[in-house]
Amino acid sequence: MLKRDEDSFLRALAAVEAAAFDETGWPNALALISNLFGSAGATMEAADKSIMQLTDFWGHGIPEGSDIAYSEHYISISPRVVLGFRSIQDEIGYDSQVIDEHAMNRDPFYSDFLGKCDLRYFMSGTIIQNPTEFACIALQRSPREGHVQQSEIDMMARLTPHVRQAYDVTRRMRAATETARSLERALDWLNDGALLIGPDGKVIYANEAARAFARRGDGFRVHKGAVEFLSPEARALFEPALAEIAGTRKAGAPSAPPDFPLPRTGGAPPYICSVRPVAASERRWDRTAAIAVVFIRDPLKQGDEQAAAIARLAFGLTEAEAHLATALQSGVALAQYARTRKLSLNTVYTHLRRIKEKTGTRRMADLTSKLGALKPPLKGEV
């Protein structure tokens, strides 16, 4: 029996609004809706019309596994499905619109499927109605509860718009989460470090390379959730660059360069830091979405093994020559390379001469240009 008190309606409505942002809350919302109407159970479902398969389903008060039987067989023979093909967006559906009592007794959906679940009647509110998809919230009623009455139809008409809006938010939140995960997985393929920065300046995600750089503590670290540059010069460039993206740059302050060197404490060549905005999507639904991405490149990073392997294949370089070639392409000076690899400068110059012979180049600019065309942007494996 329908509970007419406003408190029951408001409790159900609060649960629906909570489920919008956490879809694990939909069964609880359906429990309160079922209680509001005094029905045996409640369901919420979405279906792909082209294949007549469920794309979403939550339930309360229905036998476990019945959703599987419904999706695999009974959805395609249910007399109620006709409501999903009507062009009425805000329709409230119920049994007498599609079938009479005598036909229910002979219909396999009613007599076989619903009968075994001790269910018979329903009332639904349309949530989505378009050429490809149908979604609704539905009360599932036992034979003892009988067909819905006008007061219950009126209450469902009041409730349905709130459920529709909440389910729309659920889908948007789900899509935003999937997009974020896809971006994170993509960033893990990069040889460069990449950090996604949120509106509060905190790191939302750091790819594998960035985490490895940060663990060294050589030039920068992630401290209390934020990027912290150890060099005052780098901080003086990074903070205004981020403020410019966030729209918090002080009036009259000069624009900050988006690319700058990041000195390292160990004497190695500086990282190259680049700060770029992330294109705004619908932050109405995700206020933690990244506003910026920080790329950090290590010119000495031996993730250049792929480039070295390609150079060996392309020009017939030895392993030592290929490593020098990739270092040169990354902008490392010969003297710095010699110190890092613990080689004599004469040995390095010998390697360089052979590289030029094998690549058919004379000038360093021509050599680095030819080598640069071979360097892959992605790691060989994650």
Please spell the DSSP secondary structure of 65-107, one letter per residue. THHHHHHHTGGGT-GGGGGGGSS-TTPEEEGGGT--HHHHHH-
- How confident is the model at residue 248, as a pLDDT? 66
- How confident is the model at residue 305, as a pLDDT? 67
User: Which of 113, 118, 123, 114 minimizes the C-alpha distance to 147?
Assistant: 123
User: Which of 179, 181, 336 minimizes the C-alpha distance to 266?
Assistant: 336
- How confident is the model at residue 36, as a pLDDT? 94
CA–CA separation, 344 and 132 (whole Å) = 70
Q: What is the pLDDT of residues 155-193, one digit of tens each?
A: 999 999 999 999 999 998 888 777 777 778 888 888 889
* 302-372 is a CATH 3.40.50 domain: no
DSSP-derived secondary structure for 264-318: -TTSSPPEEEEEEEPPP--TTT-TT---EEEEEE-TT-GGGHHHHHHHHHHH---
E strand or H helix at 46: strand 41-48
Each residue's pLDDT expressed in tens, for the chain with a length of 382 residues: 566 678 899 999 999 999 999 999 999 999 999 999 999 999 999 999 988 889 999 999 998 888 888 888 899 899 998 888 876 767 899 999 999 999 999 999 999 999 999 999 999 999 999 989 999 999 999 999 999 999 999 999 999 999 999 999 999 888 877 777 777 888 888 888 999 998 888 999 999 999 999 998 888 999 888 999 999 999 989 988 888 888 765 555 556 678 898 988 777 788 889 999 887 654 444 545 788 999 998 876 654 666 777 778 888 889 888 888 888 877 788 888 888 888 899 998 999 999 888 888 888 888 877 776 665 554 544 4
**Please, what sign has the CA dihedral across residues 53, 56, 62, 64?**
positive
At 202, list the tokens.
């905190």
User: Which of 120, 107, 114 minimizes the C-alpha distance to 79?
Assistant: 107
- How confident is the model at residue 284, as a pLDDT? 45
Strand order in the sheet with 271-277: 203-206, 193-197, 292-297, 271-277, 259-262
Superfamily of domain 188-297 in the CATH hierarchy? PAS domain (3.30.450.20)
Report helix, strand or coil for 133: strand
Q: What is the pLDDT of residues 260-288, one digit of tens each?
A: 989 887 777 888 899 998 876 544 445 45
Pairing of strands 133-141, 41-48: antiparallel
CA–CA separation, 21 and 250 (whole Å) = 35
- How confident is the model at residue 380, as a pLDDT? 47
- How confident is the model at residue 120, as a pLDDT? 94
Query: Cβ contacts of residue 34 below 8 Å, gap of 6+?
Result: 40, 41, 42, 60, 61, 139
CB-CB contact of 275 with 238 (8 Å): yes
Angle between helices 150-187 and 26-37 (to 10 degrees): 180
- How confident is the model at residue 278, as a pLDDT? 82
Measured CA to CA in angstroms, residue 326 lies from 74, 258, 301, 355, 372 at distances of 63, 25, 10, 11, 8
Same fold, 6-179 and 188-297: yes
Tell if the pTM clears 0.85, that is, is over it.
no
CA–CA separation, 88 and 269 (whole Å) = 66
Q: How many CB atoms lie within 10 A of CB 287?
A: 9
- How confident is the model at residue 189, as a pLDDT? 83
DSSP 361: -
- How confident is the model at residue 282, as a pLDDT? 44
Domain residue limits, the chain: 6-179, 188-297, 302-372
- How confident is the model at residue 86, as a pLDDT? 78
CA–CA separation, 294 and 274 (whole Å) = 6
Pick among 3.30.450.40, 3.40.50.970, 3.40.50.2000, 1.10.10.10: CATH of 6-179: 3.30.450.40
Pairing of strands 41-48, 220-223: unpaired
